[in-house]
Structure 1
């Protein structure tokens, strides 16, 4: 067997798997939605895709190092001038460096078309939230049934009785995540069953999610008001905003968290 060939083939397979898992992570819903709805594609959830992506990244790096080792002479030839002298910054290296720099700077500074591509990914991620019933508040699946009932104003005993009537095993100290896992359903399904016969009551500021990702227009939509009205309310707090501005960045500019600002706005 040829270790050189094994290295090249390992690089190829690792790249294919990293590309696939990378695409899945790019289109996957935000973590709060993925965990709440038990989101899966081809039997794998977001956490599993992230784990596979990370381990194959390590394999790809190791294979790349070996590939460079086995192909050191050809790579050196790429950096030689006409006099066969090794020159690090050849024309080809300069072009490769500029391409890499453009992608890095463009992405970090949210310049089009990089920002358009990132926004496209965000739109896909946020579309999942419209498909699934939202959690009443962030990371609700991590609370015990007792804590959850208290926060959404559900009767604990009634909740246990409702679940029992649906043949769902649970006790007050189980988290919604555990209840869902033990009964092969999602936390969203548990909430849906409980909310069929009980009215949900939760503070608006607690019910909002994804504040770090959303812009002013999206936050206004979540609050049920016009974008112009939210901009006017923010101006009173000393925040000059536009519809496309990221809400989290604006809040941080005055030293406050998004949730603190939402509460100051009276929601």
Structure 2
């Protein structure tokens, strides 16, 4: 028996870019209803439903094979659903794919950066491909925003994992997409690099960008998400805030425990939080 899903939260939107003229500004940035996808006898998605409030971070949490990446591919128009509907920034992913693509950016599990180029050159290249005015200024602004100015002139091959990931996210923001999909953005990163990426994601939402984050890391969802949906065997089994999810379990007993430093506390005290 599955756990009951919580109703979506309603908050004041912080971004209404590229909406259809008739779309209310309080409408969710992402709406998914009855999404299904199968590969022959393998049922990956079995009627997925959720909504994402504008300017929030929504975590789709699940183990490997739960269907997280498949859902993101459908929402980003890379894959067609077998059944159900989905709208991103007011546009139907099946019938208005071009409008959806103009509204989003997708960052996959591995950084899509050119190691031969410098960080600044990577950003300028994407800005030119998007036909933006003054691509150099766009690159410099993003390097500053993601604390990469000092490394901007270096080849990406010399970057740490966290720096590459931050550059990858910076590249995905060129053109100011109102919705960004981050598919397991910290896979393979060391603890320090993960924290750097977390900070970058938090700043995206603070700037009004809607973030849909897929992850298999419980602490990542706990640190970042305004709402968390757990995807298991192709179905959303629970959807709510962290506090709502915690209330599904019996209240904790209050006991006195002498707290010792965690390994994370030790690690960060020794190496700091900057790359």
TM-score class, shorter: under 0.3
Q: Which has the larger radius of gyration?
A: 1
TM-score for both structures, normalised by structure 2: 0.23
Task: Name the one with the larger helix percent.
Answer: 1
Task: Name the one with the larger strand percent.
Answer: 2
